[in-house]
């Protein structure tokens, strides 16, 4: 075997630079998350401080002044400060919702893949059920019957999307087990917990992460839609959707109260889905 050549790296691997659009998306997301996290120190005003002298001041370049760069609402509250706090709340809800949904879904998906049989069937019936119902209606129904409170809203946001992780995790678990390396690992005596933690989870991480990036903007949309309809975050707290709901009554004389948070939501969801698509192209082995 002296001549066995190491053909390590026989095929040149191509690395593409991230395009400008992806860079922009990342920049925006980092910016929004930083601003949301530092909303308290960054905001120049108390978001709820009423200042009737400066009410309905338009944003800069639309006739407003530097004191309120994004203008004020009909109670004279500084829109930029409200926006920062609103973004903080929206992002927080979306983060917690996405992560919890991912954790629940992944755990149930692995459980289904590992146990098979009846457990698998039961979990998959739940998955199909949730996938077949428009979640917005289910969410509205739950909020209607149980009343709006932050806790109910959080529960609703957390259940959102778990079924997709469950499907993915189950499929990944099965593919790595049946004729895959997880079976080979089991063959040398590793226990299920070792196999799932050390081999299957790290190898599913890419796919799950992609799904999280794609699920995150949808969670933002769910929360802001509910809040926009007045069914989500309740005053005095205000998420981006809630601010827009408030501004709807002033569309004629203060469009900025609605449009500015709308732009922030759109840009954030757009940036997250661009990043998610990009990550999927790179990380998802099923697409190669």
Binding residues for another protein, rule: CB under 8 A, are 1-12, 14, 128-129, 132-137, 140-147, 179-181, 183-191, 194, 199, 202-203, 217, 221, 224-225, 228-231, 241, 244, 248, 251-252, 255, 258-259, 262, 265-266, 269-270, 273-274, 277, 285
Q: Do residues 105 and 162 make contact, with C-beta atoms less than 8 angstroms apart?
A: yes
The smaller minimum CB distance to another protein, of residues 88 and 177, is found at 177
Work out how close the CB of 85 gets to another protein at its nearest, in angstroms, rounded to a whole number.
19
- Give the span between the Cα atoms of 116 and 252, in whole angstroms: 58
Work out how close the CB of 12 gets to another protein at its nearest, in angstroms, rounded to a whole number.
5
The smaller minimum CB distance to another protein, of residues 65 and 281, is found at 281
The smaller minimum CB distance to another protein, of residues 111 and 257, is found at 257
For Cα atoms 87, 37, 164, give the angle at the middle one, nearest 5 degrees: 65
Tokens of 242: 């809630």
Over its C-alpha atoms, the chain yields an Rg (Å, rounded) of: 24
Work out how close the CB of 155 gets to another protein at its nearest, in angstroms, rounded to a whole number.
13
DSSP letters along 241-260, please?
A: HHHHHHHGGGTTT-THHHHH
Work out how close the CB of 52 gets to another protein at its nearest, in angstroms, rounded to a whole number.
26
114 sits in which H/E element: helix 79-115
Q: Do residues 88 and 36 make contact, with C-beta atoms less than 8 angstroms apart?
A: yes
Cβ contacts of 268 within 8 Å, gap of 6 or more: 28, 29, 32, 217, 220
Q: What is the largest CA-CA distance in the chain?
A: 88
Coil/strand/helix, residue 125:
helix
Q: Residue 97: which of 284, 244, 224 has the closest Cα?
A: 224
The smaller minimum CB distance to another protein, of residues 41 and 288, is found at 288
The smaller minimum CB distance to another protein, of residues 66 and 118, is found at 118
Q: Residue 206: which of 156, 172, 232 has the closest Cα?
A: 172
The smaller minimum CB distance to another protein, of residues 54 and 234, is found at 234
Work out how close the CB of 35 gets to another protein at its nearest, in angstroms, rounded to a whole number.
19
Work out how close the CB of 105 gets to another protein at its nearest, in angstroms, rounded to a whole number.
18
- Give the span between the Cα atoms of 282 and 16, in whole angstroms: 10
The smaller minimum CB distance to another protein, of residues 129 and 150, is found at 129
Work out how close the CB of 57 gets to another protein at its nearest, in angstroms, rounded to a whole number.
19
């Amino acid at each position: 075997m002296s001549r066995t050549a190491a053909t390590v790296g026989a095929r040149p691997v191509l690395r593409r630079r991230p395009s400008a659009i992806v860079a922009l998306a990342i920049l925006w997301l980092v910016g929004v998350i930083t601003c949301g996290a530092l909303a308290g120190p960054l905001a120049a005003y108390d978001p709820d401080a009423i200042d009737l002298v400066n009410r309905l001041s338009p944003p800069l370049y639309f006739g407003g002044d530097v004191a309120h760069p994004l203008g004020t609402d009909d109670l004279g509250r500084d829109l930029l400060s409200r926006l920062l706090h609103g973004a903080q709340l929206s992002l927080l809800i979306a983060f917690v919702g996405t992560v919890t949904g991912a954790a629940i879904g992944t755990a149930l998906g692995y459980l289904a893949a590992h146990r098979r049989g009846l457990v698998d069937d039961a979990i998959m019936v739940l998955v199909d059920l949730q996938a077949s119902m428009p979640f917005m209606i289910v969410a509205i129904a739950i909020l209607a019957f149980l009343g709006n409170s932050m806790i109910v809203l959080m529960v609703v946001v957390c259940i959102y999307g778990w079924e997709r992780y469950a499907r993915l995790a189950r499929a990944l678990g099965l593919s790595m087990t049946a004729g895959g390396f997880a079976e080979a690992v089991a063959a040398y005596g590793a226990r299920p917990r070792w196999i799932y933690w050390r081999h299957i989870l790290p190898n599913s991480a890419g796919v799950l992460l992609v799904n999280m990036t794609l699920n995150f903007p949808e969670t933002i949309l769910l929360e802001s839609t509910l809040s926009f309809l007045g069914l989500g975050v309740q005053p005095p707290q205000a998420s981006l959707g809630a601010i827009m709901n408030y501004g709807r009554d002033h569309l004629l004389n203060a469009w900025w109260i609605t449009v500015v948070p709308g732009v922030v939501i759109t840009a954030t969801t757009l940036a997250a889905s661009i990043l998610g698509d990009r990550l999927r192209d790179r990380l998802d082995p099923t697409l190669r």
